[in-house]
Structure formats: structure tokens, C-alpha cells
């Protein structure tokens, strides 16, 4: 009987640990100027890291295609006064990208920059998160990438 109680206590302890860790990560898609695969990982209750990989196809205005990888360290605050599940966040981090353009384009090669982000999210009781954010970005190396760009994006993520 003691072994059975000990086994049940261990299983209950493992299950509570698993459920506590079950929503520390989220993965999904971010739709804005192009599309991105987005991943979030909580570092604490008030901090997390968001990593986004974006692929851009040919743009008739700029004439380029390529990818961008952005990592944002975020501070997260509850907005439970609106409704349980609402949060807002702000963050900053590095970004790298590589583009190939037509012969008239300055958008060619590798670039390094910095990005900021501010947004609001809603976490449903099911493992689903929706967010809307604004991300200004500045490419600093090389400066031929036109400097700054920004955009608003909607993200849909599965929490696990």
C-alpha cells in the first residue's frame, strides 16, 4: 500500500510539473510584410524570447527575394483588467538577413540590424494565442539596405 501511495504521489508530482511547463513555448505563423515562422520560449513569468524566420519573395517595387531571422528579448505584462488572457509586451533584439535582387537593386547580400517590437496578445483557454504587434527595424550593416523599415503583423501560435 505504501508503494502504491508513493507511486501515485510521484505520478501526481510529475503531472503537475508537466502541466506547469505545458505553455512555456508557442509556435506558429506571423503575417505582415511577408510571412514568418514564429517561436516563443518563456524565460520567466515576465520575460521571453521570440525568434522569427521570414521568407520574402519577389517584390515588384524593390525587386528582391531573401530571408530574415529576428530574435527579440521581450518583457511581458498582464492586462487582466481587460480580460483574463490579455498581455502586452515590448522587446528588442538582433536581426540578420540575406537578399538577392535584380541588377538595379541595392538590396543584395548579407545584412545585420536591430529590431524593436511592441504588441498585444490574447491567450485562449485552449492552447491558442493571437497577437498583433508593431516591429520597427533598422539594418545597420551594410547601410545600402535603405536603413529602416517597419510593419504591423498578426500572429497565430499554438502553445505547448
Beta-carbon neighbour count of residue 38 at 10 Å? 23
Residue 111 pLDDT: 86
Q: Is 42 exposed, middle or buried (0-12, 13-18, 19+ CB in 10 A)?
A: middle
25-159 classified as CATH 2.40.160.20: yes
| pLDDT mean over 137-149 | 73
Give the start-to-end residue ranges of the domains of the chain: 25-159
| pLDDT mean over 151-156 | 96
Question: What is the rounded average pLDDT for all residues in the chain?
Answer: 82
Q: Are 153 and 32 in contact (CB under 8 A)?
A: yes
Is the pLDDT confidence value at 66 over 70?
A: yes
Is the pLDDT confidence value at 142 over 60?
A: yes
Is the pLDDT confidence value at 124 over 50?
A: yes
| 3-state SS, one letter per residue, for the chain | CHHHHHHHHHHHHHHHHHHHHCCCEEEEEEEECEEEEEEEEECCCCEEEEEEEEEECCCCCCCEEEEEEEEEEEEEEECCCCCCCEEEEEEEEEEEEEEEECCCCCCCEEEEEEEEEEEEEEECCCCEEEEEEEEEEEEEECHHHCCEEEEEEEEEEEEC
Q: Is the dihedral of CA 43, 23, 88, 38 positive or negative?
A: positive
More confident site: 21 or 96: 96
Residue 15 pLDDT: 44
What confidence tier does 60 reach under pLDDT thresholds 50, 70, 90?
A: low
Amino acid at each position: 500500500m505504501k508503494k502504491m501511495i508513493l507511486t501515485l504521489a510521484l505520478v501526481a508530482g510529475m503531472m503537475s510539473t508537466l502541466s506547469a511547463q505545458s505553455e512555456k513555448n508557442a509556435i506558429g505563423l506571423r503575417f505582415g510584410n511577408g510571412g514568418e515562422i514564429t517561436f516563443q520560449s518563456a524565460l520567466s513569468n515576465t520575460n521571453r524570447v521570440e525568434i522569427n524566420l521570414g521568407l520574402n519573395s519577389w517584390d515588384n517595387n524593390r525587386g528582391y527575394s531573401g530571408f530574415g531571422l529576428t530574435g527579440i528579448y521581450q518583457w511581458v505584462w498582464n492586462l487582466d483588467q481587460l480580460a483574463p488572457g490579455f498581455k502586452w509586451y515590448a522587446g528588442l533584439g538582433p536581426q540578420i538577413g540575406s537578399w538577392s535582387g535584380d541588377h538595379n537593386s541595392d538590396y543584395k547580400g548579407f545584412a545585420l540590424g536591430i529590431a524593436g517590437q511592441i504588441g498585444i496578445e490574447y491567450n485562449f483557454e485552449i492552447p491558442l494565442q493571437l497577437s498583433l504587434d508593431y516591429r520597427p527595424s533598422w539594418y545597420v550593416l551594410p547601410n545600402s539596405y535603405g536603413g529602416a523599415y517597419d510593419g504591423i503583423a498578426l500572429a497565430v501560435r499554438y502553445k505547448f
